[in-house]
């Protein structure tokens, strides 16, 4: 379990995290609580970088709790993953653009999320998510996330990943969509009106891919 001792991230902050699952190991990583991205001063951007290495025959589950983006926040985040040829990797990244129960509306913010996954040194997955400007208006557009402010990304890389496609789609239901983007790699996104509804659909989907219960911090 990792934690942010600053209690949140704002403009000008720099955070980095690196972890390795060595040969034959199974490493499960989660956060103590939701990460918070606070209002930034003009011209300042918070930056987070994560490096994950998964060795031969190893497995790494990257299961942080939600990232909550507040009004006027600015964040650039990058996650680089290096997998051995037979390694297994599961990742989830839930994102909340304000909290419905708290009446929070993100009128303006900037978020960049970059994923790069390599297996045996070869790039097998790249994804860039960029939301900038009036976030509530952007999310309301058809084909983006109409009526929703909670988004989650799911990634599963394993030699037999295709066996999980049908169960994953069933677990997500109408809340999301999953695809086998290439042999051995599943990618899914889910949306919901708020964090509570997102978790209700996301937790069964994660358990389908992990084959076990989530870390206790997800249910406390």
* Distance separating alpha carbons of residues 18 and 20, to the nearest angstrom: 7
- Outline where DSSP puts E strands in the chain: 14-21, 26-29, 35-37, 46-54, 59-62, 67-69, 74-83, 88-97, 109-119, 122-133, 150-157, 176-182, 185-192
Give me the pLDDT at residue 101, please. Answer: 67
Is residue 25 very low, low, confident or very high in pLDDT (cuts 50, 70, 90)? very high
Smallest CA-to-CA distance from 136 within 151, 124, 146, 123 is with 146
Q: Helix, strand, or coil here: 183?
A: coil
Q: Please report the pLDDT score of residue 106 as a whole number.
A: 80
Given a contact cutoff of 8 angstroms between Cβ atoms, the answer to whether 187 and 179 are in contact is yes
Percentage of the chain beyond pLDDT 90 is 70
Residue 142 makes CB contacts below 8 A (sequence gap 6+) with none
Q: Rounded CA gap, 118 and 116, in Å?
A: 7
Judge contact between 111 and 70, C-beta under 8 A.
Answer: no
Residue 114 has what pLDDT?
96
Q: Give the CA-trace dihedral at 29, 32, 37, 43, to 10 degrees.
A: -70
Q: What percent of the chain has pLDDT over 70?
A: 99
184-198: pLDDT as tens digits? 999 999 999 888 889
Q: Which of 53-57, 104-108, 168-172 has the lowest mean pLDDT?
A: 104-108
Task: Identify the band that residue 138 occupies on the pLDDT scale cut at 50, 70 and 90.
Answer: confident
User: Quick one: average pLDDT of 104-123?
Assistant: 92
Of 83, 147, 141, 155, nearest to 113 (Cα)?
A: 155
CB 68 within 8 A of CB 37: yes
In this model, does residue 127 exceed pLDDT 90?
Answer: yes
Mean pLDDT, to the nearest integer, of 53-71?
Answer: 95
Q: Name which of 115, 110, 97 is nearest 44 in CA terms.
A: 110
> Which whole number is the average pLDDT over 197-210?
93
Give 36-52 pLDDT, tens digit per residue. 999 999 889 999 999 99
68: nearest Cα among 101, 40, 96: 96
């Amino acid at each position: 379990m990792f934690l942010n001792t600053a209690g949140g991230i704002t403009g000008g902050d720099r955070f980095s995290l690196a972890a390795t699952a060595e040969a034959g190991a199974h490493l499960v990583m989660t956060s103590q609580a939701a990460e918070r991205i606070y209002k930034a001063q003009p011209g300042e951007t918070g930056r987070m970088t994560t490096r994950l290495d998964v060795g031969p025959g190893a497995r790494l589950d990257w299961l942080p709790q939600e990232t909550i983006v507040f009004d006027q926040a600015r964040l650039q985040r990058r996650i680089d993953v290096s997998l051995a040829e037979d390694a297994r990797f599961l990742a989830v990244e839930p994102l909340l653009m304000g909290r419905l129960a708290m009446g929070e509306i993100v009128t303006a913010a900037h978020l960049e999320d970059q994923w790069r996954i390599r297996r045996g040194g070869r790039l097998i997955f790249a994804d860039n998510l960029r939301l900038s400007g009036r976030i509530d208006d952007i999310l309301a557009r058809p084909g983006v996330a109409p009526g929703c402010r909670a988004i989650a990304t799911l990634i599963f890389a394993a030699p037999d990943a295709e066996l999980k496609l049908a169960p994953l789609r069933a677990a997500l239901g109408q809340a999301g969509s999953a695809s086998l983007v290439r042999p051995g790699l599943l990618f899914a996104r889910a949306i919901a009106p708020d964090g509570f509804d997102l978790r209700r659909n996301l937790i069964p989907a994660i358990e389908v891919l992990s084959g076990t219960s989530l870390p206790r911090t997800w249910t406390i």
